[in-house]
Amino acid sequence: MYANETHSDLAPTHNQLNPSLWDGTELKLEIRYKLLQIARHFIDYINIPNLDLTDITISGSNASFGYSKHSDIDLHLIANMPKDHPDLKELFNAKKNQYNSTYRITLKDIPVEVYVQDAADPHHSAGIFSVLDSKWLSEPKELTPDVDPKEIKKKARNYAGKINQSLRSNDLNTAKETMDHIYRLRKAGLEGGGEYSIENLAFKLLRSRGQIDKLRKRIDQLQSKQLSLGEQDED
């Protein structure tokens, strides 16, 4: 597993931002307009009144020099979330997963993934660009990643083992805990080592192989099964 991935596959770096999306460091107008349109469509889709939206941003690999053919566009809707509704984040997350599964949106053949982010939560990314205000909030820098491909593959195999164990268990709580655990490790990696942390690169390798999506689909299936009740009674 993962034997064919090279250093450049695992930790890509370029001397320019993705030219499909950017003119130098300026987001192309057609891309910006489409991202705003997608954001408005998502807001209509979730249908939550009085959403206190503060910004719309893109971040991650396609807002940095570390993009690859597997990178998506991370579109974040930044909102103030009321402290007296802690379950709102879970609702947003469920709506986000449903939306991204229902609408397979691409820009220049690059998938768009929509998120809702609490404005109070720190967000770690090599680059963060405000689509709403058309300006950089955190401008990316060219880096030469110093990473060990063996360590990335080792970490990815560890993650994959946990995913496969969850899939075999056919247990909703186990699958959810595994997904949460992997995302927590990725977040810790981003906070500690940035985009080129072992945890983040291992996560991206898993995602490019479809393993994260496989676990997410299994969670959706198990959740649907848990909420369902038998067959109809016959007359």
Instruction: Indicate if the pLDDT at residue 94 is higher than 70.
Output: yes
Tokens standing for residue 99: 């939306």
Give me the pLDDT at residue 232, please: 65
pLDDT tens-place string over residues 172-230: 999 999 999 998 888 888 888 888 888 988 888 898 888 998 998 898 888 888 878 76
Instruction: Indicate if the pLDDT at residue 18 is higher than 90.
Output: yes
What pTM, to 2 d.p., does this model score? Answer: 0.74
Does 7-138 carry CATH code 1.10.287? Answer: no
What percentage of the chain's residues is helix, strand, coil (to nearest 5)? 50, 15, 35
Which residues make Cβ contacts (< 8 Å) with residue 62, sequence separation at least 6?
A: 17, 18, 21, 71, 72, 73, 74, 110
SS3 call for 55: strand
Lowest mean pLDDT among 43-47, 123-127, 136-140: 123-127
Greatest CA span in the chain, whole angstroms? 70
Name the nearest CA neighbour of 181 among 194, 198, 196, 162.
Answer: 162
Pairing outcome for strands 110-118 and 73-80 = parallel
The structural domains of the chain, with segments of one domain joined by +, span 7-138, 149-227
- Between 131 and 12, the higher pLDDT residue: 131
CB atoms within 10 A of CB 148: 12
Confidence category of residue 167, pLDDT binned at 50, 70, 90 = very high
For the chain, percent of residues with pLDDT exceeding 70: 92
CA angle 144, 125, 137 (to 5 degrees): 110
Which residues make Cβ contacts (< 8 Å) with residue 69, sequence separation at least 6?
A: none
Confidence category of residue 128, pLDDT binned at 50, 70, 90 = very high
